[in-house]
Amino acid sequence: MKSEKSKEILKFPKATFERLKQYHALLTQLEIEQKQRYILSEEIAEMLKITPEQVRKDFSYLKTSGKPKVGYNISELLAELDELFGIKANDNIIIVGAGNLGSALANYKGFQNIGARVVAIFDKDQEKVGKMVGELMVLPLKDIPRVVRRFHVRTVAICVPEDAAQQVADLLVAYGIKAIWNFSTRILDVPNDVIVQNEDITRGLLSIKHMLAESEKRKYENSEV
Amino acid sequence: MKSEKSKEILKFPKATFERLKQYHALLTQLEIEQKQRYILSEEIAEMLKITPEQVRKDFSYLKTSGKPKVGYNISELLAELDELFGIKANDNIIIVGAGNLGSALANYKGFQNIGARVVAIFDKDQEKVGKMVGELMVLPLKDIPRVVRRFHVRTVAICVPEDAAQQVADLLVAYGIKAIWNFSTRILDVPNDVIVQNEDITRGLLSIKHMLAESEKRKYENSEV
DNA sequence: AGAATAACGTGATATTATTCACAACATACT
DNA sequence: AGTATGTTGTGAATAATATCACGTTATTCT
């Protein structure tokens, strides 16, 4: 490749990338609300519990720039982030497991905001096959390869019971799936070229427990002094 | 390999804390499986896609130590992490929103592993009130204060539609709730002393999209060379 | 128009996190 | 028992990230 600079521009710190996802979610929300056209680094910072300097530093990796005393144009910023995350290029995904969690995902309306679409949901249980989940009919597992090929599915959300997660993952790997969105708490064993994104929600609750304990401690210490 | 330093001060880097949660989940799984008594830093590293040095460094903040050529005692390590996260001290939590997501949470069996228990689930919709979700009967929102007081609830999971999230948060704050586990993608505006843990799952999918794009690019570049 | 103001942009500096390198040591082997 | 081996534990070096400090600039005010 020729242009080294253009590559450089799309290269930001990992920590910045994580925050860009948060900015994207926030800006999407603001864009929908249509209450304001511009936003200050300080406003963003307050909402996301970070510093304004951090926000500006992050944005300095982008092409979009803000105006002193006015802030950043929400639409412009969101457009650049959309572009950056490849949101215009839609990704077809499927869900395995039509229990409550799988159904919740299937009904989730926000996927369009991040360039994703759920094209099918599968379940092992014959009782569930044929039932409707939102606008999708639950399909049997054997149909996975056909749907994957037909819709060029690269990403699968695993929403099955804990002890079935690895088994389903093995199946999906065999079908050539590129990325697994793992909603079980199990650590999946897959080949190195398969991406695994874990959504173990219990981690969030552990954080809460820890923060609650911390704030209790502070309260105690303060009353001591 | 001596460690005489006072480990009483349970202060570790933030990054380490994040990983301790992962170790905890992994060790819980291994403890349940009962397949092995010891685990090497290298095995942990491979499963969590980090380096063995990182694992050992993290564990160096703990009292538990490993044995050369043998590894770490799983039960001992898990016991220390349980203690650290205050898992023996049970936390009663409630869920607001009895849709698919709220129901999925209510039925989740892993809460006991992290010292949490769902004591009630609420919904605004009169149609849902009275219905059973797992072993819990859906209650009307007006019962929240009573349950919060009766069960000393400090933490609430918000599983309501996007545009109701802020409203519910305001309500909960008024009832004296200390921590909000936010499953909507909305950024909630709450007083500074209220903890908010966001579980915006779309971030995970954005990461997948990005990684897929990266691996596509690598493939392309390799075929160029 | 010129001055005052408030917010942006970013190089320099400080802080935090990861990796390296190797001594210490438990186990297995001869 | 002594030696070889492989893994731990951790201070030191390096790398990544966040914060600071301040020059720059668009807007508002007089």
Q: Is B123 exposed, middle or buried (0-12, 13-18, 19+ CB in 10 A)?
A: buried
In a shared domain, residues B26 and B42: yes
Q: How far is CA A32 from its chain centroid?
A: 19
Mutating which of A208, A215, A216 best tests the B interface, going by the most B Cβ atoms within 10 A?
A208
At A136-184, the pLDDT tens digits run 999 999 999 999 999 999 999 999 999 999 999 999 999 999 999 999 9
pLDDT of residue B4: 37
Distance B72 CA to D5 C1' (A): 19
Query: Is residue B143 in a domain?
Result: yes
Query: Is residue B223 in a domain?
Result: no
In a shared domain, residues B126 and B23: no
| Residue at minimum CA to C1' distance from nucleotide D26 | A68
pLDDT of residue B214: 86
Q: Is the CB of A57 under 7 A from strand C?
A: yes
The residue among B69, B84, B99 that closes a domain is B84
pLDDT of residue A6: 36
At A69-120, the pLDDT tens digits run 999 999 999 999 999 999 999 999 999 999 999 999 999 999 999 999 999 9
Query: Is residue A219 in a domain?
Result: no
In a shared domain, residues B62 and B158: no
Q: In total, how many domains does chain A have?
A: 2
β-strand pairing of A132-133 with B132-133: unpaired
At B173-215, the pLDDT tens digits run 999 999 999 999 999 999 999 999 999 999 999 999 999 998 8
CATH number at residue B197: 3.40.50.720
**Phi/psi at A209 (5° precision):** -55, -45
In a shared domain, residues A125 and A188: yes
Q: What angle do CA B112, B118, B119 make, to 5 degrees?
A: 125
CATH number at residue B18: 1.10.10.10
Locate B40 and state its tokens: 């090497």
Mutating which of B187, B199, B200, B224 best tests the A interface, going by the most A Cβ atoms within 10 A?
B187
Query: Is residue A216 in a domain?
Result: no
Is A224's pLDDT higher than 70?
Answer: no
The residue among B84, B104, B120 that closes a domain is B84
Query: Do B58 and B16 meet the contact criterion of CB atoms below 8 Å apart?
Result: yes
| Residue at minimum CA to C1' distance from nucleotide D9 | B1
Cβ <8 Å between B110 and A185: yes
Distance from CA of B2 to the nearest CA of A (A): 29
At A11-47, the pLDDT tens digits run 899 999 999 999 999 999 999 999 999 999 999 999 9
pLDDT of residue A217: 76
The residue among B52, B84, B116 that closes a domain is B84
pLDDT of residue B11: 80
pLDDT of residue B163: 92
Query: Is residue B211 in a domain?
Result: no
Q: Is the CB of A65 under 7 A from strand C?
A: yes
Share above pLDDT 90 across residues of chain A, in percent, rounded to a whole number: 88
In a shared domain, residues B68 and B125: no
The nucleotides of chain D lying under 7 Å from a protein CB are: 5-11, 16-21, 24-28
Strand partners, B94: B120, B156
Q: Is the CB of B3 under 7 A from strand C?
A: no
* Residues in chain A closer than 8 A to B154 (CB atoms): 212
Q: Please, where are the H alpha helices in A88-201? A: 100-107, 144-150, 165-174
Going along B25-174, which residue ranges are E strands?
Answer: 38-39, 72-73, 91-96, 116-123, 132-133, 136-140, 155-158
* Full residue range of the structural domain in which residue A33 is found: 4-84
pLDDT of residue A225: 52
Band of the pLDDT at A10, cuts 50, 70, 90? low
Locate A30 and state its tokens: 């603001």
Query: Do B162 and B186 meet the contact criterion of CB atoms below 8 Å apart?
Result: yes
Residue of B nearest to A110 (CA): B202
In a shared domain, residues A194 and A97: yes
| Residue at minimum CA to C1' distance from nucleotide C26 | B68
In a shared domain, residues A119 and A49: no
Is A8's pLDDT higher than 60?
Answer: no
Q: Is the CB of B18 under 7 A from strand C?
A: no
The H or E element containing residue B195 is: strand B195-198
pLDDT of residue A129: 98
Out of B114, B193, B224, name the one closest to residue A206 (CB).
B114
> B105: closest CA among B145, B63, B134?
B134
Dihedral over alpha carbons A142, A148, A154, A159 (to 10 degrees): -40
Query: Is residue B78 in a domain?
Result: yes
CA distance linking residue A5 with residue B70, whole number of Å: 49
Between A223 and A179, name the one with better pLDDT. A179
Ranges of residues in chain B with a pLDDT under 50 are 1-9
Query: Helix (H, G, I), strand (E, B), or coil: what is residue A157?
Result: strand
